[in-house]
Structure 1
Amino acid sequence: MAQAATARATVGDSEFDRDTALTRREPGVYDIDLSAGWTVFGAVNGGYLLAVLGRALTDALPHPDPFTLSAHYLTASRPGPAIVRTELVRTGRTLSTGQASLLQYDEEGREVERLRVLASYGDLDALPDDVRTTAEPPAIPPPDQCFGADDAPAPGSVSSPITDRLMLKLDPATLGWALGEPSGKGEMRAWFGFADGRDADPLALLLAVDALPPTAFELGLTGWVPTVELTVHVRCRPAPGPLRVSVTTRNLAGGFLEEDAEVWDGAGRLVAQSRQLARARLG
């Protein structure tokens, strides 16, 4: 397990930043080594991959912040070398749109596309501050009354490399699956942060929406729940401190389920929303 950090990491100087950093080979083409530290059940986490492509688009597009990204996960990514290719689709005064693909090589040396994203970027700091909403932050007990991987009944029973890099404290009301008593409600709630103390920024929100255990666990299913498509809306720049993340599933049918996520910051603002379609292993 990762050792406790001796000092808080900062945005731009953290493990997340290092593991999402790309090297520009030429305009629109980037190289990266996908870290094994962000894997679940041996597969690279979809939120981490989205943050990688989000960082590439931040470099490639004229606007600085992700507003919306829609990602289709074509094949499972593995740790190791990868290529990201970006393309500017359109640019305007307040928004620019681009697309990005992540590719790796197969055993025969052929390129295989793993992930494709279409995204619109803008400037979060230029948005008006009026809010008209009926959404409310999820009711989650304080972090010291919630549970992380270190609190599991058997050491390592719910741990994976990604959990060592995160501060995840799960709401006890959504932890029945860990005790062999899933609620059947399809809900997951947690406090989210980085283990090294790095505060969240817009790119980190792309990870946060896909960082909790799958809601399928509370439906009584086990194993990997691979993402088919994930759309994220970033609403504003998060305040420093841990985030509250709530994920719900209302429908599991035909072997597929949706997950709707909301991310709230310490100022009580809805900073990100997402919906994904995932495949459930029913057998």
Structure 2
Amino acid sequence: MHRAVSPSPPRINGMGTEFDRDIEVTANGTGEHTVELGEGWVVGGGVNGGYLLAVIGNALREAAPGKPDPISVSAYYLSASTPGPATVRSRVIRDGGSVATLAADLSQDGADRITVLATYGDLSGLPDDVRTSAVEPELPPLEQCLPTSAAPEKLKKTAPLLSRFDLRLDPAYAGWAVGQPSGNGVVQGWIRLADAREPDALSLLLMVDALPPATYDLGLPGWAPTLELTAHVRAIPAPGWLKVRHATRNVAGGMFEEDCEVWDSAGRLVAQSRQLARAPR
């Protein structure tokens, strides 16, 4: 499909929101930032990988002036991060033309937790022309979807991440919640941050890892630690709710791949990702 799209919306100033406070970094010296990883972003055995990508992504913004947006970010998760102090060390591999190639490591207690290679640029300067065969997910209206706010309090305590979002799951792929997974390996729904902060390029790094693992829909619930995740941010999202779809096709050797698409309220595919994760423990 070939279509022209309207100009990109302006970047959102989210200062003061929970997400922006929890990804705030403080410069400590050339290429080094400190951050306090928030307790509210924990799921399973560690801090959520998408939140960590956004933290690192925020630090990388300062490495290449004039190129504020993540375009491609590949992360290798070396060990689980925990709430509390962390350090992000970043460096410029190459900065020239319209994009910069950057690298970063996030460490805690003297040990690297994540290593990242990223391409940054200015999404607002990209052409508006779109040619795609991707199909936007069809979701029931918000009021017909299942809010995770109704999850049992015990689950919310063990997975505080749930309370960071207003997430409404498509009931067609949420039968796992009552022991009846569809077997399709799909989890999808409407999503926004709990305080209704509007989406921007940086928050898309969070959204590509925000839903429960697609293995839940295969009858395999539980924490699925990410080994590697590559995210592509394709455009600055329009304000409003996002549609997110996670899907897996191959669970083998104790691992599975998960593909994610994020669509904005204007019907544009604004982010894509693929990750390799360990099967739920």
TM-score (norm 2): 0.92
What is the aligned partner in structure 1 of residue 259 from structure 2? 260
Counting aligned pairs with the same residue, the percent is 54
What is the aligned partner in structure 2 of residue 188 from structure 1? 187
What number of residue pairs does the alignment pair up? 268
Distance in 1 (alpha carbons) for counterparts of 2:207 and 2:146:
17
- Could you tell which deviates more after superposition, 56-65 or 232-241? 56-65
Q: Could you tell me whether the CA contact under 8 Å between 1:11 and 1:201 is conserved in 2? A: no
1:217 has 2:220 as partner: no
1:142 has 2:141 as partner: yes
Shift of 1:87: 0.4
Structure 1, unmatched stretches of 5+, are: 1-8, 106-110
Distance in 2 (alpha carbons) for counterparts of 1:113 and 1:78:
12
Shift of 1:155: 4.2
TM-score (norm 1): 0.92
SS, match of residue 60 in structure 1: coil
Note the alpha carbon deviations across 1:44-101, whole angstroms, 9 max, x for none: 0000000000000011123111000000000000000100000000011100010000
1:80 has 2:80 as partner: no
Q: Could you tell me whether the CA contact under 8 Å between 1:71 and 1:118 is conserved in 2? A: yes
Q: What letter is aligned with 1:244?
A: K
Shift of 1:30: 0.4
Q: What letter is aligned with 1:49?
A: L
What is the aligned partner in structure 2 of residue 5 from structure 1? none
Residues 115/79 of structure 1: CA separation in 2 closer, same or farther (3 Å cut): same
Q: What letter is aligned with 2:274?
A: R
Q: What letter is aligned with 2:61?
A: T
1:162 has 2:161 as partner: yes
Q: What letter is aligned with 1:20?
A: I
SS, match of residue 164 in structure 1: helix
SS, match of residue 146 in structure 2: coil
Distance in 2 (alpha carbons) for counterparts of 1:38 and 1:47:
9
Q: What letter is aligned with 1:88?
A: V
Distance in 1 (alpha carbons) for counterparts of 2:140 and 2:214:
19
What is the aligned partner in structure 2 of residue 3 from structure 1? none
Distance in 1 (alpha carbons) for counterparts of 2:269 and 2:280:
31
Distance in 2 (alpha carbons) for counterparts of 1:150 and 1:68:
32
Shift of 1:10: 5.6
Structure 2, unmatched stretches of 5+, are: 1-11
- Could you tell which deviates more after superposition, 36-45 or 260-269? 36-45
Distance in 2 (alpha carbons) for counterparts of 1:65 and 1:54:
8
Distance in 2 (alpha carbons) for counterparts of 1:20 and 1:259:
25
SS, match of residue 184 in structure 1: coil
SS, match of residue 131 in structure 1: strand
Q: Could you tell me whether the CA contact under 8 Å between 1:167 and 1:195 is conserved in 2? A: yes
The aligned runs of 1:1-283 (5 Å cut-off) are 11-62=14-65, 63-105=67-109, 111-152=110-151, 154-157=152-155, 160-281=159-280
- Could you tell which deviates more after superposition, 33-42 or 199-208? 33-42
Distance in 2 (alpha carbons) for counterparts of 1:135 and 1:169:
22
